[in-house]
A = this chain, B = another copy of it.
Amino acid sequence: MPTVKDVAKRAGVSVATVSRVLNNSNKVSEETRQKVLKAIEELGFKPNLLARNFRRDKSNLILVILPTIANAYFARVVKGIEDTARKYGYGILLCTTGNSPEIASDYLKLIERKQVDGAIIASAKISKDALLEIDPKKIVQACEFYPFLDTSCVLIDHKKAFFEIVDYLIKKGKKNILCAIGNEGIPSEEERKEGYRQALEKNGMEFKEENIIRCRYGSTEIYEKLKTLICSKKYDAVACSSDLMAVGAIKAAKAVGLKIPDEFAVTGFDNIMISRLYEPSITTVAQPMYEIGEKATEILISSLENNSFSKERVILPHDIKTRESA
């Protein structure tokens, strides 16, 4: 593999000049530039990014940490991140943790070790002390906000969104609304639960802890629990914290023989493809997934490059998608 030195020799210039041409410095005469380009061409020279990055103390890589990409929600967020990173000349190093904080910690070490310039944490579980030594301006949180992590963040207003969709159910005449929420310890899930509570209270209904169903976000495991509950015919709706939960809920309602949405209404959250394709199609909260990824990346790169850290808390708008299930 030829190096700048070889190119320099061939072009009859110094390595500094070759480097200038490589980096589009304008302090090179057109004539010299051409000579250098010719030598590069002839030798088939390719810059060694390992050397360049080392010298510049910069990897141009962004670490992306999230629980999974099997869920279409995160897949879409990643697309927003990737496109934006590419636009600014960065690549993305992908880490799906399956919610293991240990895996997340291991990857986060890459920041201090300079394998990556910074990280976007999209809703992945992180242990607090994994972050002790990391410069907060090198991290942006997306989708989710862990307050103990003092970084910029980009997400929607989960409480408000859930409030709105429950309020929608109530306006549709539903009187006994269940709430299916992800497992505990995740801030956005607690926010959504609070939105549910506030919607009930605003409409003069009583909030009961027993009406909260806890189940995994990215699965349909709600099915069994719900089927048992709704046999009683006491309930006429469930507001779910994800579209996959909603699918499970619809299956349960069908299994019990309830007509959707009249006898039993179901709402989802996220607006991933399945909510549109499923039958019945699912009324849900559309999150601006791509835009969350995009904005988070822009904030991170700007923070990385300007070296000016202003903690940003960005709330992006959501949107209720009314469909057949409610």
Contacts and interface: CB of A to CB of B under 8 A. Distances in A.
Interface string A102-134: 010001011011110000000000000000010
Contact of A75 (B46, B61, B70): B70
Interface in A47-90: 47-51, 53-54, 57-59, 61, 64, 68-70, 72, 75-76, 78-79, 82, 86
B46 A54 contact: no
Contacts of A112: 46
A92 interface: yes
B82 A94 contact: yes
A91 B91 contact: no
Oligomer: number of copies: 2
A314 to B, nearest CB: 23
A58 B251 CA distance: 51
Contact of A50 (B59, B72, B79, B254): B59
Given A50-B54, A54-B51, A75-B70, A96 B82 contact: yes
A49 B115 contact: yes
A295 B203 CA distance: 56
B70 A91 contact: no
Contact of A110 (B49, B69, B107): B49
A220 interface: yes
Interface stretch (A5-13, A271-279, A299-307): A271-279
A249 to B, nearest CB: 12
A96 B51 CA distance: 26
Contact of A46 (B47, B48, B113): B113
Contact of A94 (B46, B78, B273, B279): B78
A50 B94 contact: no
A47 B110 CA distance: 10
Given A44-B133, A91-B93, A94-B94, A75 B69 contact: yes
A46 B109 CA distance: 9
A199 interface: no
A247 interface: yes
Interface in A239-277: 247, 251, 254, 273-274, 277
Given A50-B57, A70-B72, A75-B75, A93 B96 contact: no
A279 B278 CA distance: 8
Please name the 8 residue pairs, one residue from A and one from B, whose CB atoms are nearest each other, closest first. Answer: A54-B54, A49-B115, A50-B54, A50-B114, A49-B113, A94-B94, A46-B112, A69-B75
Interface of A: 44, 46-51, 53-54, 57-59, 61, 64, 68-70, 72, 75-76, 78-79, 82, 86, 91-96, 103, 107, 109-110, 112-115, 133, 220, 247, 251, 254, 273-274, 277-279
Given A69-B69, A69-B79, 8 more contacts: A44-B133, A46-B109, A48-B114, A69-B78, A91-B93, A91-B95, A93-B93, A247-B277
